[in-house]
Structure 1
Amino acid sequence: MAANTDSRSNDLTSEELIRRAADLIPVLKSRAPHTEEIRRVPSETVQDFLSSGIHRIGVPPRFGGLDVDYGSMLEVATELARGCGASSWCYALWVAHSYLIGHWPLQAQEEVFGEGPDALCSSSLNVGKSTTQQVRGGYRLNGHWEFSSGCDSADWLMLGLHGISERAFFLVPRSDFEIIDNWFVSGLRGTGSKDIVVEDAF
């Protein structure tokens, strides 16, 4: 990593987060060809994001997140993009989803961040070819979704489904979804925006 940082500090300022992102530019540039080659954000880059603490911008403060505004994430993402556009794109999505989860009921937040602030969430919010069945205690989910950027590194997915009476979003843990390796494109290959399949998840 480019800088020795204490990612667990909860008093990181926007300025410090932007500086840490800028420090990552050289290593992101050096990895950019490999990122395109493997068609996903490398695990080393994901770990750099986690170690630097820049991902915690979107995590609710009660779970170790940072009390900084959404605009700071955009500035951090802008710095990261100077090194690797694909890595920056996935970073911004992971943080944006953390922000969204912070507006869900507390139980959902605890499911995602209860063991710490390093959980990452990707998504495919188009309802796609999905079905939802209401059963005792919850819902039974099945479906196929497209274009889930950053899914290879995600601990959770936020999926759009046809709800019982209206469209709904569901959080699905990594154990309940399959990644289809079909992201073969000419641009932004490193985003790993692959298809997702869920079969009979509760």
Structure 2
Amino acid sequence: MSNAPDNEHDQVLFAHAERTEQQDRLTEVSVEALRRSGALALRTPVQYGGAWADASAGAVRLAEIGRACPSAAWIAGTCATAKTLFAQSFDEPVQKEYFADPNALACGTGAPAAQGIREADGVRVTGRWETVSGCEDADWAQLALMIDGAYHVMVVPTAELTVERNWHMAGMRGTGSQRLVADGLLVPARQTAAVAPPQPQDRLFFALCALAPVVGATQGALHVIEDMFASARKPYMTSYARMGESPGARHWLAEAARLVDRAEQTMLAVAHDSPRADLGELDRARLQMSLTGAARDCREAVERMLDLHGASGFRTSNALQRYWRDVAVAGRHPLLNPYLATESLGTALTP
């Protein structure tokens, strides 16, 4: 048994996952593997050569990538969210330029961390956007800002912005979620658009794009443990000849696998239901609560796996500890925040 994925592009991501973490960004080979696999075209519209994958197909693919390299899956997910918002925000002439390469890597954030001042030649923009995943390798950046006191988004080639490398994290290090800076950047007016902030329906999709890499990472961790059970490894300081001889170890493995399966099924159920046009506030609050529960299942599953592996699971050469740190960090993204989801559900339930 091997932890390596079946898909050739995902095999590349898996092989480069450790190097990706060491350099705090995807390797060039990993970026190319994402492009070639179509992962960066998941939400490129069909008319521009992309898949425009629905929530279910997108979540499945992001989880597959997450089994190989959670950071790569995260960047593919943020690319999908950026392209989704862009397609909603800009008209066809700008879209044709932006989507000219369907496999272009897009990054962005919906936090309006800049101010724009209108001038005769466009909009003069100054601001600093935190935690923009994949920005060092992205072709385009879609960023929120305020213009004349109103929420806007702008799209610019990432090369026109300054990257400040301030992403120093215990997990998801390979996402390279650095700070982007604009200092008096003149943006053509057609590359800005007045839009509403992300709506609840969009936020559910974005939360799925955050959860799927976490689910995939947890599945990747489970593969590590399954490989251990298939090996000659035995529980230390016991008379067992192999891990599988221990009833306790088998029970712990079953508990971990149950949590992983439940997280995946929850992800797929929310992906199926979230696009419905008839969802009300209570429906959305329940779906959001389900997503946060799935993230918690992932964290608990990996803890059981570390119990099974013991202290050797924390060796820096062991993929299990990388999955553990990635799940611990990504599973606590604001879109997967459990106490705020509980608060929203409680509010929706209150007459």
TM-score, normalised to structure 2's length? Answer: 0.49
- Greater C-alpha Rg: 2
Query: Which deviates further from its counterpart, 73-82 or 166-175?
Result: 166-175
Contact 1:157 1:173 in 2 (8 A): yes
Contact 2:41-2:52 within 8 A present in 1 as well: no
Cα distance change on mapping 1:60 and 1:200 into 2, 3 Å: same
- Give per-residue Cα distances to partners, 1:63-122, cap 9 Å, x unaligned: 1112542321111000011111111101111122222222221122123123x2122210
Q: Which structure is richer in relative contact order (CA contacts within 8 A, separation 6 or more)?
A: 1
Separation of aligned partners in 1, 2:71 and 2:39: 16
Is 2:107 aligned against 1:122?
yes
The answer to whether the Cα contact below 8 Å between 1:22 and 1:79 also exists between their aligned partners in 2 is no
Q: What residue identity is the alignment partner of 1:133?
A: I
2:31 counterpart residue number: 46
Distance 2:10 2:159 in 1: 33
Moved more, 21-30 or 160-169: 21-30
The whole-number CA distance in structure 2 between the counterparts of 1:80 and 1:163 is: 37
Distance 1:144 1:106 in 2: 28
Decide whether the 8 Å contact of 2:10 with 2:33 is kept in 1: no
In structure 2, the residue matched to 1:107 is 93
Structure 1 unaligned residues grouped into runs of 5+: 1-19
The DSSP-based 3-state class of the residue aligned with 2:16 is helix
Residue aligning to 1:182: 166
| Aligned twin of 2:208 | none
Say yes or no: does 1:24 pair with 2:15.
Answer: no
Offset at residue 191 of structure 1 (A):
0.6
Return 89-98 or 26-35, whichever deviates more. Answer: 26-35
Q: Identity over aligned residues, as a percent?
A: 27
Q: Per the alignment, do residues 67 and 179 of structure 1 end up closer, same or farther by CA in structure 2, a change over 3 Å counting?
A: closer
Residues 1-202 of structure 1: matches in 2 within 5 Å? Answer: 22-103=7-88, 104-114=90-100, 116-128=101-113, 130-202=114-186
- SS state at 1:170 partner: strand
Consecutive aligned runs of 4 or more in structure 1 exceeding 6 Å deviation: none
Answer 1 or 2: which has greater helix percent: 2
Asked if the contact 1:59–1:66 (Cα under 8 Å) also holds between the matched residues in 2, the reply is yes
Q: CA deviation at 1:21?
A: 8.2
Quickly say closer, same or farther: Cα 1:155–1:67, change in 2 above 3 A.
closer
Structure number with higher strand proportion: 1
Instruction: Specify every segment of 5 or more residues in structure 2 that has no aligned partner in the other structure, as ranges.
Output: 187-351
Q: Give the aligned CA root-mean-square deviation in angstroms.
A: 1.9
